[in-house]
Amino acid sequence: MSLLEKFRGALLGVAVGDALGAPVEGFDGESARRFYEKHGWKMVSGKYTDDTEMTIGVAESLIACKGFNGAHLAQQFLRNYNESRGYGPGTREVLKMLSEGVSWKEASRKIFGGEGSYGNGAAMRIAPVGLLYHENAEKLREVAFKVSEITHAHELAKEGAALLAFAVALACRYGCNRYTVSAEEEEEEAGETKREMLRSLHAFARHRIYKEKLARIEALLHAKEDEEEARKRAVSELGNGEAAFNSVPTAIFSFLRSHDFRESIVFAISLGGDTDTIAAMTGAVSGAFYGERSIPREWLESLESGVVAYLTKLAEDLYELSKEI
Ligand code: F2R
Ligand code: MG
Ligand code: MG
C-alpha cells in the first residue's frame, strides 16, 4: 500500500466516521445501534459536521503556510465556520472572540474560568498534523499542541490531540509499500503492529489519565468477551463523552480491537455518546492504517457532494508537503 493511499484514507475516514455518527450523536449505545440496524448500516444523511469542517481548516492552513501559522489558522477557522455543522459551545465562544478581534494567542484562555477547554474539538480535527509529521514524533507533538491551542488551551485537550495525531502517524508507518504478504501473514502482522502501536502510544503519553486509559485498553484487548460486554466495558472504563480524555482513548480502542475499517466504525458508533467525534477519530486512524480502499464504497458515495474530491486533493497536497519538510 502506498503512503498516499494512507493519507487519503485518514482524511476520508474522518468524514465518513463523522457523517455516520452525526445522526445519533448523544444517543445511548443501544439506541444508536438500533437506529443503524434498522438502516442496515447505510449512511442516512451524508452531511458532515464541525469535525470534518475543522479538519479541512487545519489541512488548508498547514498547506497554505507550509506548516503551522497561528494567525492564518485562526482566520481559516473563521472563514470556514458554518453554524449548521454543530460546533461545541466553547469553540463557538472562542470563534466569536476571534471574529471580534481578540488575539488568537489569548481567546482560548478566556473560557471555562480561564483554564480553557478540555473538549475533544482539538483532537477531532488533528489528523492532518499526524499525516504531515508522521516521521517526527516530537515535531508532531509540538504542532498538535499549537493547532489545538487556538481553541483548546487545556493541557488535557492538547495531549488528547497529540495522542490521536501520533496514532495516525503510527498507522501511516504500518505496511507501507508492502504488496506481497498473504492474508494470514497480513492478519498476524497487523496484530503485532497494533500491539507495538499501543506500546508506543503509552510511551508517548505524558498525563496520568491517558497513561491509565491506554493501560486499560491493553487489558480490554486481552479480555475474551462478547460484543455486548466489550461495548459496556469500553463505555464504563474509557468513556464516550465530549471530554478529550473520555473519547480519544475510546477511538484508539475502537480501531485496535477491530479487523477492518468498517468494523471499527460500527463499534465506535455502537457505543453511543459523542458518536460523530469518536467515529471521526476512529476513522482517521483506521483509514490511515488500512488505506483508502478499505473504506466501504457505499459510504464514500453517500457523503455530501464534493467533499470526497476535496479531501482527496488536500490529502495529496499534504503528501507532497510531507516530502519537503
Ligand atoms: N456540539 C456538538 N454537538 C451538539 C449537538 C449538535 C446538534 N446535533 C446540532 O445539529 O446542532 N458536537 C461537537 O462538539 C464537540 C466538540 O466540542 P468542543 O469543540 O471541544 O467544544 P467545548 O465546548 O470546548 O468542549 C465540549 C464540552 O466539554 C466540557 N468541557 C470542556 N472543557 C471544560 C472545562 N474546562 N471545564 C468543564 N467542562 C468542560 C463542556 O461541557 C463543553 O461544552 C464534538 O462532539 C463535536 O462533534
Ligand atoms: Mg460534530
Ligand atoms: Mg461530536
pTM: 0.97
Average pLDDT (204-213) is 98
Whether the per-residue pLDDT at 179 is higher than 70: the answer is no
Ligand 3 centroid to residue 24 C-alpha, Å: 10
Average pLDDT (267-272) is 98
Q: At what angle do helices 155-173 and 275-290 cross, to 10 degrees?
A: 30
Whether the per-residue pLDDT at 278 is higher than 70: the answer is yes
Name the percent of the chain lying above pLDDT 70: 98
Ligand 1 neighbours, Cβ below 6 Å, are 25, 49-51, 86-91, 112, 115, 117-121, 154, 242-243, 274, 276-277
pLDDT tens profile 71-93: 999 999 999 999 999 999 999 99
Question: Best mutation site among 53, 94, 117 for ligand 1, i.e. most ligand atoms within 8 A of its Cβ?
Answer: 117
Ligand 1 centroid to residue 87 C-alpha, Å: 7
| Atom number, ligand 1, closest to the C-alpha of residue 241 | 45
Please report the pLDDT score of residue 197 as a whole number.
97
By three-state DSSP, how is residue 15 classified? helix
Please report the pLDDT score of residue 191 as a whole number.
87
Instruction: Take residue 89 and report the three cell numbers written for it.
Output: 459551545
What are all long-range contacts of 35-44, with beta carbons under 8 Å and residues at least 24 apart?
36/266, 36/269, 36/270, 41/262, 41/266, 42/298, 42/302, 43/16, 43/19, 43/298, 43/299, 43/302, 43/303
Whether the per-residue pLDDT at 177 is higher than 70: the answer is no
Instruction: Take residue 7 and report the three cell numbers written for it.
Output: 493519507
Q: What's the mean per-residue pLDDT of the chain?
A: 96
Please report the pLDDT score of residue 303 as a whole number.
98
Ligand 1 centroid to residue 244 C-alpha, Å: 10
Please report the pLDDT score of residue 185 as a whole number.
84
Using 50, 70 and 90 to split pLDDT, how confident is the model at 181? low
pLDDT tens profile 12-60: 999 999 999 999 999 999 999 999 999 999 999 999 999 999 999 999 9
Taking only Cα atoms into account, the Rg of the chain, rounded to an integer number of angstroms, comes to: 18
pLDDT tens profile 254-267: 999 999 999 999 99
Using 50, 70 and 90 to split pLDDT, how confident is the model at 188? confident
Nearest CA to ligand 1 atom 43: 89
Ligand 3 centroid to residue 51 C-alpha, Å: 7
Please report the pLDDT score of residue 233 as a whole number.
97
DSSP 40: T
Whether the per-residue pLDDT at 307 is higher than 80: the answer is yes
| Atom number, ligand 1, closest to the C-alpha of residue 18 | 47
Map out the domains of the chain with their CATH numbers: 3-322 (1.10.4080.10)
Using 50, 70 and 90 to split pLDDT, how confident is the model at 183? confident
Q: Half-sphere exposure of residue 161, counting CA atoms within 13 Å on the CB side? A: 35
